[in-house]
Amino acid sequence: MTPLTITLWDFSWYTRAGLEFADLGRAFRDTVERGYDTVRICAMPYLLFGSGLDTSALRFSGLGGSFGQRTRWYDVPSSGPALDGRQHLLSLFRAAKAHGCRVIVSSWEYQQSPSFSVSPAWHQALQAVPFADRTVVLADAHAALIDFLRDHGLDDVVAYVELHNEVTHSGLNDGSGVLGIQRSLERGIDRFKKRHPDVLMAANYSRVPVGAMRGLPRNQDVAVFHPYVYGVLGQLYDEFALRDTTRPFPQERAFAELLREDAPMLADWRPPESWKTDATIVPHREVYTHDWCDPLKWDKWLYDRYGAHRIAMRETLDTWLAVAADYAASRDIPLVFGEGWVGYTPLYAGFEEGPVGAEICAHAVRQARSLGAWGTVVCSNAAPHHPMWNNVTLQRRLNDEFRENR
């Protein structure tokens, strides 16, 4: 199989259609220049092919005002061009085909995509679907999307389809445990494969679920993982309770160690629209800290403590990649690392783009190659809407290395 060198366009190809993705032809030219041949997207399958909503004039915005504007992915402008959803999808696939690229079709709809809509209708429609039916409803929407592409001679651009992004950390997880999620995913994959047996279909997982590999869907065609090791970043998240709302937020310590001098109090920095908060998985205090961090303070905090985590982070990454490769080999299916490597950092922080992060990226890509992975990212932050996109040399070099003699 021809290797996939992947850049993560996620939902940004439509939420930022007036910015980096205004000219899809140019975006793909820049992508190819950096050595990529595959983009991974939220294709809005449920919205476009399952919701029944009018998608002829879609509009997107951020979480409200300036809230989230210094985060990655959530820094969506308050206004952008109206899009005909299905026509915009065709434009992307046509541009991909013209530039010799493939597209990984996924969905973030049960995580955060609807939070970028100017209307709650998309979010409300998704939430109205009973848990037991969600994987099947998504499968039907994906199948209809493939039908649509096939009608326009573009289905050959699809590398494979993911039922949903990071299934255990999404609205598909009903709390039924590893095997309960497995049964639900298998039902959705079977549903899709009945209509499109020739199209590869998978779920995907954040990190690598070591100790629960038995719970992965047994009928998926691709093993897809997102090995975010966190390590020193995990220490920061833990010490400042960014995702643990059961503990108090250490406001004064945050002012001293992470935040800008002009930062407001956590309680004073909130999105104006509550339904958008309900439609996303990122906690309020995490957005606040990303919005108001001093990037130099944030990076210094990580650099000062990285030495204590360096060996463990490398060992964790190596273990996860090896376990993922062993699982794929045991199933005789291809292996893809569709996201990774450190974790979620503020938009203007440079730890993952800097010398330490570049070393981690290089090691991970080489490991992925040595393990025979079908596809990999250079880094989740290597995409048109992130500052790392400007490091053309690193991306080109690692993508070329991944493809070399394959």
Q: Are 341 and 364 in contact (CB under 8 A)?
A: yes
Q: Domains of the chain, with CATH numbers? A: 4-403 (3.20.20.80)
The reported pLDDT for the residue numbered 401 is 97
3-class DSSP assignment, residue 269 = coil
Query: Band of the pLDDT at 271, cuts 50, 70, 90?
Result: confident
**Mean pLDDT, rounded, of the chain:** 96
User: 274-287: per-residue pLDDT in tens?
Assistant: 789 888 888 999 99
DSSP run (H or E) holding 134:
helix 134-151
The reported pLDDT for the residue numbered 77 is 87
User: 316-331: per-residue pLDDT in tens?
Assistant: 999 999 999 999 999 9
Nearest to 122 by CA among 15, 240, 205: 15
Q: Which residue type, as a one-letter code, is found at position 26?
A: R
- Pick the more confident residue, 162 or 270: 162
The reported pLDDT for the residue numbered 200 is 98
Q: What percent of the chain has pLDDT over 90?
A: 91
- Taking residues 201-225, report their average pLDDT: 96
Supply 170's token pair: 């999404």
- Taking residues 213-229, report their average pLDDT: 97
